[in-house]
Structure 1
Amino acid sequence: MRQRKETKDRRNEILTATLELITEDGIDRLRALDIAEALGISTALIFYHFKTLENVVVSAFELAAEHDLVNLDAVLERTDGSVENRLRAVLNEYGPTGRAVGWRLWIETWSACLRQPALREVTHRLDMRWREVVIELIAEGVECGDFRADDPRGATWRLTAMLDGFAVQLVALDGAVSRDDVAAWVDRAIRTELQL
């Protein structure tokens, strides 16, 4: 039993180091040797646990995204009040002004998805879990009469795609827009999209 815990701990150490290196240097520059040196272990140990570097990257991103989804659940649990308050809290958590694992990591991952089908699959699956929560909240708001939207799915995609674009502007383009601008524009988009 003790060895199993140590194995899990080692795997998590490898994944955490991988996330730090990806955030710092990017996925394309990541090497198993870099991870091993960061942890003071051999590359053989990395390949023992994950078989390939691609598996390390996919597992690391899954870990980070799952952490974001735990935060999402916490936001839903602690946000009281109207469906609008809950929706705004979720979109704030999702967006570049929230605590999501790091937009740099998401942007790096989107780029790598062009070349890594396994990463594309997991990224799509995890991204859809965020959007499903937003779809459900918008549908709930429509049902109770707080929102007017003929297509909750379309409204969700428009709002979250806008947040994705703002994240690129804030993170990858070094603050081409300000956080205050983003907050104001998101508020306006929510009001327009849901006819508030």
Structure 2
Amino acid sequence: MKAPEAQSITLIAQDAMISVSSVQRFIQAYANECLKPTNRLSENLSFDEFKSARGRMAFQYIDAQTGTILDILPSRFSFQIKNHFYTRYSYRERCSVKTITIDMNAGYEKLIQELFPKAKIIIDRFHLVQLISRSMNQLRIQVMNGFRRGHNEDQKKYRRLKRYWKLLLKNEKDLTYTVYKPFGLFGQTTDRTVVDTLLSYY
């Protein structure tokens, strides 16, 4: 019960009046119970990495339909991932996988083609949206910095681009031409007019 809480193993041991090694043993036993090895794979998998308790990046693969963690590997190195899938799953089982959802880690693509010859690779939309937002922001900063050392009008454009960057990332459907409100550096106007003006600079 205490293991999922944000406290150290030492504090759990003190609360439960047992040794630290006993707490570690119980947690490990429970983890092993939760992750029952199987030689079957889901048709739709998802690969991800996360920072493990040891501070290194670990690898996990998940049933993309149910969200169930199928297994966790202590490392994300290609040779260890390959070794795991080659030893645990047959070629026939690996060929049954139809899709694998990944982030934009290019290292996984080659690995997937080798291990899962019939699987299609899907880039998950969170990482696509993140990439688009980051690219949009980098371009805005580049354009904004071009106005930084200009005359008064350019300085105004610089300040506007700096202040209203969030509006450029807003969903177009949420922008309105009809609701007027005060915008610093623009006066009384609509958020859609602000966005149109900012886009007219580039």
Give the structure-1-normalised TM-score: 0.27
The structure having more radius of gyration, on CA atoms, is 2
Name the structure where helix makes up a greater proportion of residues.
1
Q: Which has the higher contact order (CA 8 A, sep 6+)?
A: 1
